[in-house]
Structures are given as C-alpha cells and as structure tokens.
Amino acid sequence: MFYSSSFFSHFSLRSRFIILIAALVFTTTLLLGWVASRESAKQMEANIGNAASEAAYQMVDKLDRSMDARIKEVKLLLGIQALNNGTDTSLLREQLERLQDNHNVVSWIGFTDPEGVVQAATEGILEGVSIAQRPVFLEGRKAMWVGDVHEAVMLAQLLPNPSGEPLQFVDIATPVYGSNEQLQGVLAVHLSWQWAEYVQQSMLTPSGYLEDTEILLLSANGTVLLGPETLIDQSLDSLNHIPSSTTTAPQWAIETWPNGERFVTGYARSSGFEDFPGLDWIAVSRQPVATAFAPIEKLQDAIMGTGLLLALLFAIVGWIIASRLAAPLTRLANAADRMQDGEHADSIPLEDSSPELKHLSTSMRNMVARLLDQRSTINRLEDLANTDPLTGLPNRAFLNRYLKLAIPEAERNQQSMAVIFIDLDGFKQVNDELGHHAGDLLLIEITQRLKSALRSGDVVARMGGDEFVMVLKTKEEHLEMLTHEISRRLLSSIDQPVLLPDNEQARVGSSLGAAWWPHHGLHINTVLQLADDALYAAKAKGKHQLVIHSA
C-alpha cells in the first residue's frame, strides 16, 4: 500500500482521471466480452444437452415403435385358422416358422393348450412340454401381455447361441379364444433381445453423430439392460437425475457416473406407442464432458481474444477522449467537494468550453439546488410525520421505528428495557367540564412533567388521547428499581394541579402499567401488549398506581 500510494502521488489529478477512464473502458470491454462468452457458452451447452436428450428419446421411441409392430404381428397371428381349430399341429407349426423366418428377432413362437402344454412351436422346440408355471402362460391367458427383459430358462439349451452369451428375451403373449368364446390356449412369442442392440447400433452409425456418445437402456428400476459391457446388470440408482415414472419428457443433466467421470447425460423414459403400453424403459445417452464441451472452450477463447483486442483499442480511444475532458471535469469535481464543506450551489463553475460541458455544469448547479431544497423539505416532513402536533412528543410511528433500532442496540450493550404505559385518570371530566381547549392545555403541561421525569437516552411518546408510553433502558438487575423510581415520580408529578387561564385549575391522576423486555417477552410487540394489559389491571384495582406484569 505504501509503494502504491507513493507511486500515484507523483501523478496529477488530471493524469489519475485519464488512467481511471482508460481502466474503466478496458475493464468494461473485457466484461462485455466475458458476458457474451458466457451467454454463448450457456446456449451451446443447452444445445448439446438437448441433443443428448433427443438421442435418448429417439432410442426409446424406436424401441417402442418396434415393440408395437411385434404386438400387431402377434394380433395378426390370431387370425391363423390353425389356431382356432387346434387340430392341425404341423400346419400351425409351418405357419409359425414362416413368420419367424420373416423376422430375425423372433427366437421362438409357441401355442399352448388351456393347461399350458405346448401344442405347436417353431422347430418343434418344447412341444409337449408344460409351461404352465411360466409368466408367459400365467399372464398371457388373461389378456395381451408384454414381459420385460429376462434370461432364457427353458430355452437356454435348446436354441442356437453362436455368441455363447446368455440368451435374453422380451415376451409377448395373448389368449386365443374359439368361436364359443372358450379359451383355446395361449400364443407366446419370445423376441431376442438382440433386436434392441440393432436399434442401438442404428443410433450410433450415422456419420456426423455425437463423438464418443454411448447409448444405454435401463429397466424401470435403473438396472442396465443394454450398454457398455462393464455396466450390464449394474444399478444406476446413484445417478441424480434419472426421470421418475411420471416424467415422460426428454431431459438432460451433467452427471457424475459411478466411475467418477462426468458425462453430459440425456434421459428419455418409455411411454409406449399405440398397442404397446410401455415397460418404463429408460434410454440414456451419455458423452464425456470434455468431448461434449470442447467446442464451447474454443468459442470462449475466440470471444475473449477478440474482446481483449477491442478492450485495448477502446482503452486507447478512451485515454485520448478523457485527456480532453479531464480538466473541466476535475474542476467540477473539486467544486462538488467544496460543497461538502458548506459552500453554496453557485460555487460550481460554469464550464463553457463546449456546449455539452456548459449544459452539464448548469444542470449540476440546478440539480444541487433542487436536492438541497428537497432535503430541507424532507426533513420538515419527517419531523411532522414523527411528532405529535399538540404536545411536540414523538408519536406512535416514531416509537415503532425507534423500537426496531433500540432492540439491536440493547442486545449489543447487554441492556434490558422497561416499557411503561401511562393513562390519565379523570381527563375526560376535564374536557367535559372545562372544554377541549382546557384539555389541550392540560396535556401540554403533563407533557412537560413527563419530560422532566425522563433520564437522558429515555423516550416518551404520545400514543393518542391521554395515553403515553415511556421506554427506559438499563441493566437487567436495575429494571425493577428503575421502574418503581420513575413510576413514583410520575404518579407524584402528574397528580399536582394544573393552572389554567382565568385562574382555573384542573387536576388528573394517572394509572401505570409496565412490562420488561426481554424478561417478559422476546418480541417487543408482546411486551407492549403486556404493559397495556398491566395498565388496565391498574385501573381495575382503583387507579393512581403502578402494576408490573407478572407471569
């Protein structure tokens, strides 16, 4: 700080002003460049995220449409005559195999009798075998049913498996009824899960698609059904933004995956399509953050580089312009500083070196004059708003503002406060017998007596009519003694006769109610209410006395 101060002390105010203007222009230009870079980055980030969520949506949409097509084909199978007569097993098998040949994703089709025994099947596999305990029969005999991905059980050793990996199926089953509406059996179709891999590959093969993007498919409970080999059958419940079962709109987020790597991750949940009700599959598209946001970093570098060059250019221009404006502006600034020392608005010089500076200096003089007038008016209005016009005491509005400031101050100083409500006894009688003018003169005199009982720093305010409130600050251990001492003075002082014009006299008493903060309540409004209640208790006990709230 010493060296910095010594360095700038060698420069004139003119030079400092020029340096300031140049620095402001330079900083502002850089800031604008940074803002533009940031907003552009946000837009690009949103576009990249939306592309990820769109990829997930396309994946799940293709799966839903493919499943819908398979279901429609199963429904068409119901029209096969051999299903309805249930007699020609070889003909039924031949028709089922013809359908299987047309769709390489169909691994097995079978037709059971009402008891679950397979009557006809492709390649004759499982014919004569009961599948009555399998979900494909138990659910399929009730209505059209689609089962989620599962490993083969009975077909594991019977179907060809060149890859050697466990076979997985998606099941479709439907009841078959005869002309008499009696259950003829169940038509069951096992779709190879390989068809989902075909859909996945179709998402990744188009040229120009997102670099390093992976497509995953999760079950309804978050288990990986399709994706990188290291994640298969793993649960991804740890991801924070997996959409709930009620969320069908695609969405995206930056997720930290179980391996600790961060990915731009798009989600889309299956909602079915036409005849396919959906299995709550969740398609996930992910791309490493470093890869996804690489274009953003390039854009930011380009914008900031351009911004830096513009900042230097504008700083030089600002330096030149500021050097011409510095002298008259410095004079105006010095004049404004002198005004703080009490000089009049006329002390601002009238700069006429240019129309703009002349207009500026004239406007400053007029503005300062108006501000001074407004300040004077505001001070007068504040006094009127916070003061009772008859007694000159603070009013209720002032008291409320005072208490808001007094509470924090008392807490800092470890003080407590006594609130005393004061009500004049017999004031209405004075008004009725001697007139309101006499009542006003009495209130003015009582006000002087209240002020004389105050200590420095205490406040008394008129709440309205013949009711007053006194606020005393002191240490907690002095609360009770101070309350009684001040109350004794008030009771004695107010009780003295008041001399009115024409040698008339008026006399009133007083009733006092007190409560302590924070002893009786942590909120000052509570204490005010308790003190008011204590005042009414004092009146009920015969008036002309003090009652302190007691819990």
- Kindly list the catalytic residues: 466
- Tell me the three state secondary structure of residue 421: strand
State the DSSP H helix or E strand holding residue 459, giving kind and residue range, or none if neither: strand 459-464
Distances from the Cα of 288 to the Cα of 60, 111, 210, 215, 459, angstroms: 21, 47, 11, 12, 68
Taking phi over 0 as left and psi of -120 to 50 as alpha, with beta for the rest, 344 belongs to beta
Do the bridges between strand 262-269 and strand 251-256 make them parallel or antiparallel, or are there none, so unpaired?
A: antiparallel
Q: How is residue 233 written in tokens?
A: 């059958």
Peptide bond into 518 cis (omega under 30): yes
Angle at Cα 237 formed by Cα 232 and Cα 240, nearest 5°?
125
DSSP-assigned letters across all residues of 91-154: HHHHHHHHHHHH-TTEEEEEEE-TTSBEEEEGGGTTTT-B-TTSHHHHHHTTS-EEEEEEE-SS
Q: CA 193 to CA 179: how far, in whole Å?
A: 35
DSSP-H helix ranges across 392-478 = 396-412, 427-434, 436-453
549: CB partners within 8 A, 6+ apart? 513, 514, 515, 516, 520, 530, 531, 533, 534
Q: How is residue 388 written in tokens?
A: 């009772």
148: CB partners within 8 A, 6+ apart? 170, 219, 220, 279
What burial class does residue 204 get, using C-beta atoms within 10 Å of its C-beta: 0-12 exposed, 13-18 middle, 19+ buried? middle
User: Edge to edge, what strands does the sheet with 251-256 contain?
Assistant: 224-226, 214-218, 282-288, 262-269, 251-256
Distances from the Cα of 456 to the Cα of 90, 451, 460, 473, angstroms: 114, 10, 11, 10
Of the chain, the end-to-end C-alpha distance in Å amounts to 59
- Compute the Cα dihedral for 118, 121, 126, 132 and give only its sign: negative
Do 113 and 119 form a contact (C-beta atoms < 8 A)?
yes
